[in-house]
Amino acid sequence: MSEEEIDFVILWVDGNDEVHKQQRRSYLPDDLILSASDAEQSIGANRFIQHNELRFCLRSIKCHAPWYRKIWLVTDRQMPPFLDSALLHQDRITIVDHKEIFRGKEVHLPTFNTRAIASQLNKISDLSNKFIYGNDDFMLASKTTPSFFFDDDIPKIWGDWFPISTDNTNTLFQQGMINAKRLIDNNDERYIHISHGFQPLTTTIINALKSLHPEEFENNLSYRFRHRSQFLLESLVNHYCHYKLNAPVLGSEPMIHFSFELCRVGDENKINFLFELLASGKRKMFCINEYHSLVSRLPIVEYHLQNLCGPKLLSEK
């Protein structure tokens, strides 16, 4: 396998499926106590709703990163309804089931926790050393090259320095980054707040981190839903690359984040302005945190995405 080969790994689940809904309900612990904010980021139903935004994610990769070797779609015994399984090879897409990457760790399945799943991505058979990790609500907006994601074999860090709050106001998402930072460096009272976009990783670095922090990785697997004691794998890699490999923190300017609030109540003029910014090529990637809320309010969003993300896949029905 050439060192220049780069894969994409995308996590996806159809949370609308009744079987999946029932599983989630049945595995909720009786004694689970969460704040309203933590509940929304951990067990909230909106986290699992899918509105086929994955199709724009996949289109954008094929259109704007045509140099990829494979797209690994990691899921739980499911198949996106808009894809033809017999034609996936034409788009270099391979479905990977949770049971494949949790081999030997089946006790932790089923899981509804991206932090647990991400901790096992290096177990994908035939995964390239360099790969780019994302969720189904991440999309590319314009042409990219491998150098946008990697400096030789070191992942680039698209993020910003944030202070660590001492008043317990960190969100569940922020706490996952803070936990990651403290595993690498426990002195500096700031952390790298990752960009809400595709994250470059390497299996070499993940394997090294697993050797250094086996108990913390096992803890990541042990929660079926997001928990404050867990770390974000991509954040752990970011902090390792900065503190141990001298990788610079490059900022989040290439990224636009359509937050939950922006999707639910954001002004239409602002939404259109952000899409115009993406169309201009001044931003490279974006995340739509709650696609179904945004597109139901503003149907023009789908028109923007059709223009931004490229043509239909060969495997689309």
pTM of the model: 0.94
Residue 134 pairs in a beta bridge with 10
CA angle, 212 then 217 then 223, to 5°: 165
Within 10 Å of residue 26's Cβ, how many Cβ atoms?
8
Contacts of 37 (CB under 8 A, 6+ apart): 171, 172
Contacts of 147 (CB under 8 A, 6+ apart): none
Give per-residue pLDDT as tens, 201-224: 999 999 999 999 999 999 999 999
d(CA 124, CA 200) in angstroms, rounded, equals 16
What six digits make up the tokens of 187?
């002195």
Decide: 27 and 112 in contact? Cβ < 8 Å: yes
Q: What pLDDT, on the 0 to 100 scale, is given for residue 47?
A: 75
Q: What pLDDT, on the 0 to 100 scale, is given for residue 32?
A: 64
Q: What pLDDT, on the 0 to 100 scale, is given for residue 45?
A: 72
Decide: 18 and 48 in contact? Cβ < 8 Å: no
Low-confidence stretches of the chain (pLDDT < 70) are 1-3, 29-42, 46
d(CA 201, CA 183) in angstroms, rounded, equals 17
Give per-residue pLDDT as tens, 300-317: 999 999 999 999 999 999
Q: What pLDDT, on the 0 to 100 scale, is given for residue 39?
A: 64
Q: In which residue are the tokens 């494949």 written? A: 100
Q: What pLDDT, on the 0 to 100 scale, is given for residue 2?
A: 46
Domain residue ranges of the chain, discontinuous segments joined by +: 6-309
Q: What pLDDT, on the 0 to 100 scale, is given for residue 58?
A: 98
The CATH architecture that domain 6-309 belongs to is: Alpha-Beta Complex (3.90)
d(CA 29, CA 238) in angstroms, rounded, equals 32
